[in-house]
């Protein structure tokens, strides 16, 4: 359990449907988002295939994965925290319907605006059986390519005849998310699917699938509760009686793993168990975070950080504490273990041991209940150390505050990051107008933060190589159809570094045929057309990709005449008409999407029309 060498979970496998099932709908959340990582998730969600590099490089596979999931995924992220990809693709147009930004509302208890910080998935799968399978995934990992060390847990559930309030916190969390769906047809359709899941959740019984964990609790924080008030982590035993640790009840054992920490939170745990005769406490964090605390705040803890050999050579993505700077791999997991006598609890999810996380942010945690004989501090640290603490395989090292030098978190990058969030909160809207066969995009910002006068800030459409200085109104002219997007890039430069993020802007007048234009761009000749049709008809998506790639490389198919190609497709079409006739709808959509002459072979049209009638499209 949590052994870095052995206990690994693959993000794509966690999202892939169980055998015999396919995705019906998925709700996901993340603080920061990488669009290419979302594309990879769609391969797992839509095709139930691993997100390996070969698939990510195959445009036909990507196109079908995104088309298969467009209406089935609602992914919520912090507003202004979509990261700029290295290589921009028109396929990102197909991601627009999935992504929804969350700008959490300021509450009286918080200073400034809280962050939307949960990492969570709720997935509904359907199959030949009448009852669906639900899967809940709770993580500390954002949907990015960050190489930092994270933790995740997932479990499946099935429908029962008896309702329970066990899943009410999840329903409350879904209710919160629906407030950030768009008001268009896409948003309304996804709201209907989410509300349907909320009605079904009281009858879903999740199983941990492990004898070590006898029970569990869902712990969202920072959102309204259907029972009244707000869900707060302060109401759970982990943080009970925060303002008076003496009343909280001491702990025999405590482990905190958190990349970011605050003095008041660590001081609370440090003082909570001073009176306990048996009191063992471990803190695992980043070296850069230890500058936030003093010896008196943590004198009850044994403190550990990652060894330099593990840290070297990786780049991290901002999680609200800094910008896009060259950084080292480090821990990003959030784990809390508490033991009182024979009872052990393991908390994991998105919540850092920081003031903002506990008192302001929207977070999601899971508490797994166990017993001392199954799980305790000794067992958990032995797993984390990969054996003995002094062993060569232990990725962590014990440190003192004196050991930590002047290493600090990047505050400048965090400032630039915050400006983009403020710009996004200015409620930008856009309008598209046609202009002599091309298009103009006008973006309006209702308000701009005062800091805009202090920095060099530009805005540009994600898919167009055009940039303009940020202002209350910005106009981009002569854009092609595939240059149009709801995504815009905001770049902020302070003279030393630049931070760029993507925001999603509600847009009026967007042409409805952009998806067809993307398909037409990718399926641009007969060879691509045959490859795509073979892909749609294949029994296995992976096998179809491998077959088409091999035939393309050695010239055994696409260099032949149409008369040689049609029989092979005819055989596949016969098989598909019998086993999966619904796939012909995808071919029908493909034919209607292609705008270039000469892409669809004449012989194929004749064959397809016969099958179209047979399967009654």
Tens of pLDDT, residues 347-370: 999 999 999 999 999 999 999 999
The distance between the two most distant Cα atoms of the chain, rounded to a whole number of Å, is 86
Chain CA centroid to CA 558, Å = 38
pLDDT at residue 393 tops 80: yes
**Could you tell me what percent of the chain has a pLDDT over 90?**
64
What is the rounded distance in angstroms from the CA atom of residue 608 to the CA atom of residue 588?
9
Output the pLDDT for position 108. Answer: 66
Contact at 8 Å (CB) between 151 and 140?
yes
In DSSP notation, 216-263 reads: EEEEEESSB-TTSSB--GGGSGGGTTTT-GGGT---SEEEEE-SSB-H
Write down the pLDDT at residue 370.
97
Q: How far is CA 397 from CA 31, 149, 255, 393, 489, in A?
A: 29, 15, 15, 11, 40
Residue 472: count of CB within 10 angstroms of its CB: 12
3-state SS, residue 325: coil
112-139 average pLDDT score: 93
CA distance 408 to 371: 38
- Calculate mean pLDDT across residues 382-394: 94
* 547 — pLDDT class (breaks 50, 70, 90): low
The token duo for 236 is 């759970």
pLDDT exceeds 90 at position 558: no
Q: Give the pLDDT score at 59.
A: 85
Q: pLDDT band for 320, please (50, 70, 90 cuts).
A: very low
More confident residue, 124 or 146: 124
How much is the average pLDDT of 594-613? 81
C-alpha 11/C-alpha 29 separation (Å) is: 14
Q: How many residues does the chain have?
A: 617
- List, for residues 489-526, the tens digit of each pLDDT value: 999 999 999 999 999 999 999 999 999 999 988 888 88
pLDDT at 458 over 90: yes
- CA of residue 502 relative to chain centroid, distance: 15
User: Are 586 and 536 spatial neighbours (Cβ–Cβ below 8 Å)?
Assistant: yes
> How is residue 382 written in tokens?
């032995």
Confidence (pLDDT) at 524: 86
Please give the pLDDT value at position 316. 39
Q: Is pLDDT of 185 > 90?
A: yes
Report which listed range, 4-18, 56-70, 268-282, 433-447, is most confident.
433-447
Q: What is the pLDDT of residue 514?
A: 93
Q: Which two tokens stand for residue 287?
A: 């070296």
Among 42-51, 308-317, 592-601, which is the least confidently predicted range?
308-317
Q: In the predicted model, is pLDDT for residue 464 greater than 90?
A: yes
Does the model's pTM come out above 0.85? yes
Burial of 607 (0-12, 13-18, 19+ CB in 10 A): middle
Residue 408's pLDDT band (cuts 50, 70, 90): low
The torsion of the CA quartet 577, 581, 583, 588, rounded to 10 degrees, works out to 90
Strand (E) or helix (H) holding 462: none
What distance in Å separates the CA atoms of residue 7 and residue 207, rounded to the nearest whole number? Answer: 20
Q: Confidence class of residue 528 from pLDDT cuts 50, 70 and 90?
A: confident
pLDDT of residue 409: 61
Q: What is the H or E stretch that residue 492 is in?
A: strand 487-493
Q: Residue 544 above 90 pLDDT? A: no
Percent of the chain with pLDDT over 70: 88
* Helices 59-69 & 35-47 angle (0-180, nearest 10): 80
pLDDT at 463 exceeding the cut of 60: yes
Mean pLDDT of 443-467: 94
Distance of CA 218 to the CA centre of its chain: 19
Q: What is the mean pLDDT of residues 423-447?
A: 96
């Amino acid at each position: 359990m949590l052994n870095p060498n052995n206990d690994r979970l693959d993000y794509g496998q966690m999202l892939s449907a169980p055998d015999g099932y396919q995705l019906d709908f998925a709700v996901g959340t993340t603080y920061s988002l990488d669009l290419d990582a979302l594309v990879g998730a769609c391969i797992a969600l839509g095709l139930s295939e691993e997100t390996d590099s070969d698939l990510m490089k195959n445009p036909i596979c990507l196109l079908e994965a995104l088309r298969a999931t467009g209406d089935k995924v609602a992914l919520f992220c912090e507003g202004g925290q979509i990261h700029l990809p290295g290589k921009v693709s028109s396929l990102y147009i197909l991601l627009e319907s999935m992504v929804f930004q969350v700008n959490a509302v300021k509450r009286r208890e918080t200073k400034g605006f809280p962050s939307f910080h949960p990492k969570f998935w709720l997935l509904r799968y359907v199959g030949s059986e009448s009852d669906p399978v639900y899967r809940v995934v709770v993580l500390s990992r954002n949907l990015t390519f960050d190489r930092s060390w994270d933790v995740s847990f997932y479990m499946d559930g099935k429908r029962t005849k008896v309702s329970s309030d066990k899943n009410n916190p999840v329903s409350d969390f879904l209710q919160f998310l629906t407030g950030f769906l768009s008001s268009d047809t896409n948003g309304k359709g996804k709201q209907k699917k989410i509300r349907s899941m909320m009605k079904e959740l009281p009858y879903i019984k999740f199983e941990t699938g492990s004898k070590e964990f006898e029970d569990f609790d869902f712990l969202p924080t920072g959102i309204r509760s259907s029972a009244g008030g707000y869900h707060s982590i302060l109401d759970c035993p982990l943080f009970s009686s925060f303002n008076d640790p003496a009343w909280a009840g001491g702990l025999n054992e405590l482990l905190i793993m958190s990349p970011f920490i605050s003095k008041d939170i660590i001081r609370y745990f440090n003082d909570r168990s001073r009176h306990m005769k048996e009191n063992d406490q471990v803190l695992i964090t980043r070296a850069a975070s230890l500058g936030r605390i003093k010896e008196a705040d943590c004198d009850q803890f044994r403190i550990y950080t990652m060894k330099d050999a593990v840290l070297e050579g990786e780049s991290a993505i901002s999680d609200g504490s800094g910008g896009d700077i060259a950084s080292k791999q480090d821990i990003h997991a959030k784990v809390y273990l508490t033991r009182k006598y024979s009872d052990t609890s393991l908390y994991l999810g998105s919540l850092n041991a920081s003031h903002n996380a506990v008192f302001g942010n929207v977070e999601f945690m899971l508490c797994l209940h166990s017993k001392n004989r199954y799980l305790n501090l000794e067992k958990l640290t032995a797993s984390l150390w990969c054996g003995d603490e002094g062993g060569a395989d232990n990725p962590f090292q014990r440190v003192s505050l004196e050991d930590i030098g002047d290493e600090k978190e990047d505050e400048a990058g965090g400032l630039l990051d915050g400006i983009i969030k403020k710009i996004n909160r200015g409620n930008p809207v856009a309008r598209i107008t046609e202009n002599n066969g091309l298009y103009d995009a006008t973006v309006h910002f209702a308000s701009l933060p005062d800091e805009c006068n202090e920095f060099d800030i530009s805005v540009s459409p994600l898919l167009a190589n055009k940039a303009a200085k940020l202002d209350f109104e910005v106009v981009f002219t002569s854009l092609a159809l595939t240059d149009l997007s709801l995504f815009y890039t905001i770049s902020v430069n302070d003279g030393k570094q630049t931070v760029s993020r993507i925001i999603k802007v509600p847009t009026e007048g967007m042409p409805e045929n952009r998806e067809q234009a993307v398909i037409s761009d990718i399926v641009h000749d007969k060879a691509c057309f045959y490859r795509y049709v073979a892909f749609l008809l294949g029994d296995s998506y992976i096998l179809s990709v491998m077959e088409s790639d091999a035939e393309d490389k050695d010239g055994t198919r696409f260099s032949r005449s149409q008369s040689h190609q049609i029989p092979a497709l005819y055989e596949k079409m016969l098989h598909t008409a019998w086993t999966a006739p619904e796939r012909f709808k995808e071919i029908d959509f493909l034919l209607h999407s292609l705008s270039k002459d000469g892409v669809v072979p004449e012989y194929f049209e004749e064959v397809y029309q016969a099958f179209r009638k047979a399967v009654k499209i």
